[in-house]
Amino acid sequence: MMRVMVVGAGAMGCLFGARFAAAGAPVLLLDVDAVHVEAIRSRGLRLVELNGEEKTVRLDAVCEPAVWDAPADLVLVMVKSYATKQALRLVHPESIAPHTVFLSLQNGMGNGEILAELVGAHRVLVGVTAQGATKVAPGVVRHGGVGPTSFGSLSGNEPAGVSSLLQLFAAAGLEASYRHDIRNLLWQKLCVNVGINAVTALCGIDNGRVAALDPARKLCEAAVMEAVTVARAEGAVLPDDMVDRVLSVAQATASNRSSMRQDVENFRPTEIDAINGVVVRYALRHGLTAPVNWTLTQLVKIRELTYGDGKHKAEPSG
């Protein structure tokens, strides 16, 4: 069984870590949240399943670099996109071996490229997942949704260890596949985030209201259409009904609060630069414009700079 280090023990990192540990894999969680880490260390990770069943999974957790008793086979990167580079400082060099594979299942674009600069493109995998989870308290995570996980190599060369990784997901009861068209899937996931996250964060609405409210729907549609145009300029192949797919996701997750909305409501930095901001940056290099995504990006940045009454002000995301 693969030895797994999870960098970023938020809701999703804990979900995957708990499932891998329950399947018999050695798992080490790394996170800077000392209270959360101590809760896991002292009481175990409590996972609330979709059916309401609760289970406690015992696994190691640390909030500073530590030498594991043997190198990791897999480093699963689950931090917010703006923290990717800094988060790898939690991984002790002696816990990494030449065969170690790095897998990013983060939101936004550009995380794989950052990892490639740090550890080499030949062992970096990037992917998307339809699994969902929410951190409800230190050491407590609620599973929020089930779906497939897909990953692939940005370099085009399949790294060693992929078959073992697929076996790990299968043992953990998680549907997963290796995809050679992963860049297309990354852009599809980005379109979903582009159309839903900033709108819900700025307006304080649940996902379903994006599809239900005419002004919100129009704003979503315009942002997604810009993203589709930029994606195709980048060489990605996207379905013609991408806008309808995004609205369907909003309807299917009607009662959900998007991650960006949760960040704004909790006075935390957002991933706006890796989502709507990416569309703007990539548009520029193709001589295109993305005024809707530019505006959404600036509005979210204004929110970040004016959090609370000044006592809870967050650092801007960029």
Residue from 222, 191, 198 nearest 299 by CA: 198
Collapsing DSSP to helix, strand or coil, 260 comes out as helix
The Cβ-side half-sphere exposure at 263, using a 13 Å CA radius, reads 25
Look-up: residue for tokens 């204004």? 302
Residue from 32, 42, 92, 88 nearest 62 by CA: 32
Active site residue 55: no
Strand-pair category, 27-30 with 132-137: unpaired
Q: Which of 55, 85, 189, 301 is catalytic?
A: 189
Total Cβ atoms within 10 A of residue 283 = 21
CB 9 within 8 A of CB 103: no
Looking at residue 89, its amino acid is: R
Residues annotated as part of the active site? 189
